[in-house]
Chain A
Amino acid sequence: MSQPDVFEYLLRLADDRLVLGHRVSEWCGHAPILEEDIALANIALDLIGQANLLLTAAGAAEGKGRDADALAFLRDELDYRNALIVELPKGDFGFTLTRQFLFSAHALVLTDALRSSKNTELGGLADKMHKESRYHVRHSGDWMLRIGDGTEESHQRAQAAVNELWRYTGELFMADDIERRLAAQGIAVDSSKLETPWRAQVDDVLKRAGLTVPSVAWMQRGGRQGRHTEHLGHLLAEMQTLQRQHPGASW
């Protein structure tokens, strides 16, 4: 049975993780120290692994025979449903870790709530994602304290990252009709209800890191409807090139 709302919702969850996983993987071989190189590659693999499972579930909900590969590699930019925050270029190490912290803190409260989803498959996936998110928050939150409360330069870079990223956080908490319909059925979570617990967590870490939250008049949006920044197309071009040039190629 085709479940268009569930398909759309799973795509959003999956695309956030697939795109961010790809972004974080760009650090592989380039991180400041070997240990952090492996740590970031681990996080990237966690996220891509989550995306793989979510896309498989999304393909099943769509009911048109598309598997995770078809959804990841043969969809165009306009059909991607990720929030804008995950597609921004990786920036410097401070930017990457700040985004990771803001995103992972969101993933933590989201997956915690989704564990009791009436869609038992999604509930099970949320349980696995929650475990991984706990480590991502611990790792990236720890780095927030180090770079925010480190040297003058590291502090400046961390604060610049918070200033740049903050306007992209609002999109994570914008619920729409699809989500509200699913929330009413106990399948999804109304994103707007996640902002308060997320904010408490983020404020605590930023405060201890000596960082301040900028006042932002307009929260960027559009990713959930397929309106993306200029950066996603480039990312997809790189990620999809193999399947586009050699359709059906396997490892």
Chain B
Amino acid sequence: MQPGSGEAHQHVGSVHAADAEQALQNARDVYARRGEGINIWVVPSDSITASTPEDMGPFFDPGNDKAYRHPQFYKVPRGVRL
């Protein structure tokens, strides 16, 4: 679901459907009843390749001790307004 113009789509949920058009209608009926968005993408679940819980360590842990990957050592030059 795209919450507003220019914003990135966000996952809002899943629906059962026989094909793409029905999935789109079901998503509209289930997730867009209260003005939640302006655009819907539906993707068949078998088209999604996902990491598994076992991947947690090798995928995400190595980032934790490499603080230099974050931008906090960069000093914002004077005159640049945030």
Residue numbers of A with Cβ under 8 A of B are 33-36, 38-39, 42, 135, 138-139, 142, 146
Contacts and interface: CB of A to CB of B under 8 A. Distances in A.
Nearest to A142: B21
A135 B30 CA distance: 14
Interface string B19-61: 0011001101110010000000000000000000000000000
27 contacts: A33-B16, A34-B16, A34-B30, A35-B15, A35-B16, A35-B17, A35-B26, A35-B29, A35-B30, A36-B26, A38-B29, A38-B30, A38-B33, A39-B25, A39-B26, A39-B29, A42-B29, A42-B33, A135-B28, A138-B25, A139-B25, A139-B29, A142-B21, A142-B22, A142-B25, A146-B18, A146-B22
Interface of B: 15-18, 21-22, 25-26, 28-30, 33
Contacts of B29: 35, 38-39, 42, 139
Nearest to A139: B25
Contacts of B28: 135
A42 B27 CA distance: 13
Contacts of A33: 16
Contacts of A146: 18, 22
Contacts of B22: 142, 146
Contacts of B16: 33-35
A140 B2 CA distance: 25
Contacts of A38: 29-30, 33
Contacts of B18: 146
Contacts of A35: 15-17, 26, 29-30
A36 to B, nearest CB: 8
A38 B16 CA distance: 13
A56 to B, nearest CB: 23
Given A33-B16, A35-B30, 9 more contacts: A34-B30, A35-B16, A35-B29, A38-B29, A38-B33, A39-B26, A135-B28, A142-B22, A146-B22
A38 B34 CA distance: 13
Nearest 9 interchain pairs by C-beta: A35-B26, A39-B29, A38-B29, A35-B15, A38-B30, A42-B29, A139-B25, A35-B30, A33-B16
A154 to B, nearest CB: 12
B57 to A, nearest CB: 37
Contacts of B17: 35
A19 B15 CA distance: 30
A41 B28 CA distance: 13
A135 B15 CA distance: 18
B2 to A, nearest CB: 18
Nearest to A41: B29
A101 to B, nearest CB: 14
A38 B28 CA distance: 10
Contacts of A42: 29, 33
Nearest to A43: B29
Contacts of A142: 21-22, 25
A51 to B, nearest CB: 19
A97 B49 CA distance: 36
